[in-house]
Chain A
Amino acid sequence: MLLIHCPHCGTRPELEFSYGGEAHIARPADPSLVSDEDWASYLYLRSNTKGVHAERWRHVRGCGRFFNALRDTTNDRILVTYKAGEKPPGEFR
């Protein structure tokens, strides 16, 4: 079983987590000012990275919190996790 490190609870079994899509996608502050193309891009277009990918996870069967993870999509290895609202740790930026 994969183990995932929750920034709040520590290292826990994968079964307790759910995936939440790509991280660090900011909703436009005023959607009415955004062009249709930019809005469609915000809603639907994702980077689909091959390699290190910043993504959201939720410890849904644990503390319930969303957090972020850097995961290498080629080998499924999670390099680091950090709290929602934070930037990736310096060495990964």
Chain B
Amino acid sequence: MSESMSGLSVASPTERFVLQADAMTLAAAAQALGFDSDVVTSEARDNGAFALLWLGPDERLILAWQDQTPQIAPRVASALADQPHSLVEVTHRQVSRRLQGQSISELLNCGCPLDLEPTQFPVGRCSRTLFNKAEIVLWRRGSNDFHVEIWRSYADYFERWLIEAAQDLPVSTL
């Protein structure tokens, strides 16, 4: 992760999993990952070791930041034992991008139809949405700082769109 860099950079979770289960099981999994509680609707949290992102009422995206050895599945295993659930590894399905800097929400709005005003999409909010024709997961980490998950084969499309769109903005963002 490149915290201070401006523009488009690569964020590098070491693992990604999608978990689907009922509310009680999701809460137990969140605690197993070191969170006080499960995330609420449209919320994302990061505790340094893991990020937990709300995708739907029964669906979470889990990212691991630290070790290269498998972390997520062993950590949540006991919380999921004997509970109906689906835990799917998507580490290599998608890639992560970090977008930071002035006017970055305006730039994202060149392709994303969500209202990214801070009152409507505050820091800590995440959502699956669209960037033009590509599905993304958008997570606002700071007022001018977004994390984007995008399927691997769409990453080039996404980046080229951003670079093209950046040329039309008054402030150079990329």
Contacts and interface: CB of A to CB of B under 8 A. Distances in A.
Contacts, number: 35
Interface residues of B, number: 13
A67 to B, nearest CB: 11
A8 interface: yes
Interface in B94-138: 113-114, 127-130, 135
A12 to B, nearest CB: 7
B34 interface: no
Contacts of B42: 9-10
Q: B interface, by DSSP: helix, strand, loop or mixed? A: strand
Contacts of A10: 42
B113 A15 contact: yes
B30 interface: no
B130 A16 contact: yes
B55 A12 contact: no
B57 A63 contact: yes
A8 B130 contact: no
B56 interface: yes
Given A16-B130, A65-B57, 12 more contacts: A1-B113, A9-B41, A9-B42, A10-B42, A16-B113, A16-B129, A62-B127, A62-B128, A63-B57, A63-B128, A64-B56, A64-B128
Interface of B: 41-42, 55-57, 59, 113-114, 127-130, 135
Name the 10 nearest CB pairs between A and B, nearest first. A63-B56, A13-B113, A64-B56, A61-B130, A15-B113, A8-B57, A62-B128, A15-B130, A61-B135, A65-B56
